[in-house]
Structure 1
Amino acid sequence: MSIGLILIIIVSVIAGGYFILLIIIQLISKRPNNLGISGGRLQACPDIPNCVCSYSKEKNSKIEPYSFSKSIKEQNSILIEIIQKYPRTRIIKNEINYVYAEFRSLAWRFIDDVEFFLDETAKCIHFRSASRIGTNDFGMNRKRMEDIRQLLKES
């Protein structure tokens, strides 16, 4: 057997394993049924380090909401534009005061459920960003939400 043929076999096995793993991730990664606004707020983060939420009181999952001065309709439009700039992102629900989007990672296609509650009374956007599977996101949800906050400030 030639070295070229051996390399082709090895690459094929690795690629096949990768695609099988992607299929498994998609099968076990079901959309949560507890998302949305409940009691005038977003759901709290679970007690694992793969979630950030502006309602959280825990240091590891706490993130500050974003204050805005525009009308809620204008702020919603700006938020949607920002979300749409992210690759591998799908907006699932867009209401005037609530936006829900799925963000997928590049390599492993992990899904993060990201929610925004535009509180017209408090003039702020509350965030919640949580990984669907796993227990640690290595700070990716926090980084994404801080990036979105910065883009909102610049808008």
Structure 2
Amino acid sequence: MPLLKTILLAIVLLALAVALAAQFGLLRGRMPNDLGARDGRLKPPSTSPNSVSSQAGLYPDNPQRAYAQVAPFPAADGGPQTLERIRRIVESMDGAKVVKSDPGYLYVQFTTRWMKFVDDCEFWFDPRAGVIQVRSASRIGRKDFGVNRERIEAIRARLTGG
């Protein structure tokens, strides 16, 4: 019986330590310093299954290319107008913070309510392709359990009225 109590106490203390670490922002991770479009590309998807990218196909050596692939967003009314619509959509979503909003680029951080994990989400108007390229990635952790894909598809559904 004493061993069981010790194990239970250790579990409770560990849970409290993780909860406190989250509340103090220790699980936020660091903001990447290489976000944005460069040479017609957003940053590659992560090498672990915790990101999605409409440009994953541009990185054939990335082991998560197939997992990460999502379709770009249509920009039927033009890039800047579509990005403005996306900005309004994400501003209404829980945990969203618009960090940068330019006519051709939008950067949003999504923070989870309890654990304070942060995902970095970028939208870039690709004038050559006439679409909005997107990338969304978790800062920490090896898996995102589909959260980034679900979020992108929810934004897409609201954008296209689907």
TM-score band, normalised by shorter chain? 0.7 to 0.9
- Equivalent AA in structure 2 for residue 20 of structure 1: A
Give the structure 1 partner of residue 118 of structure 2: 111
Change (3 A) 1:15 1:65: same
Q: CA RMSD in A?
A: 2.0
Describe the superposition over 1:12-54 as per-residue Cα deviations: whole angstroms up to 9, x where unpaired: x68853223432214xx11010111111110111210001000
Equivalent position SS for 2:88: helix
Distance 1:20 1:132 in 2: 16
- The question of whether the paired residues in 1 share the 8 Å contact of 2:42 and 2:55 is answered with yes
- The question of whether the paired residues in 1 share the 8 Å contact of 2:98 and 2:107 is answered with yes
In the superposition, the TM-score normalised over structure 2's length comes to: 0.80
Task: Give the aligned length.
Answer: 142
- The question of whether the paired residues in 1 share the 8 Å contact of 2:52 and 2:148 is answered with yes
Give the structure 1 partner of residue 150 of structure 2: 143
Residue identity over aligned pairs, in percent, reads 30
In the superposition, the TM-score normalised over structure 1's length comes to: 0.84
Give the structure 1 partner of residue 91 of structure 2: 84
Distance 1:21 1:40 in 2: 36
Residue 44 of structure 2 corresponds to residue 37 of structure 1: no
Distance 2:52 2:16 in 1: 34
- The question of whether the paired residues in 1 share the 8 Å contact of 2:100 and 2:107 is answered with yes
Distance 2:109 2:15 in 1: 26
**Greater CA deviation, 69-78 or 44-53?**
69-78
Distance 1:45 1:121 in 2: 21
Distance 2:15 2:51 in 1: 31
Distance 1:128 1:34 in 2: 13
Give the structure 1 partner of residue 109 of structure 2: 102
Give the structure 2 partner of residue 152 of structure 1: 159
Distance 1:66 1:25 in 2: 30
- Structure 2, unpaired ranges of 5+: 1-12, 58-64
Distance 1:39 1:76 in 2: 20
Give the structure 2 partner of residue 56 of structure 1: 56
Distance 1:78 1:95 in 2: 13
Distance 2:74 2:16 in 1: 47
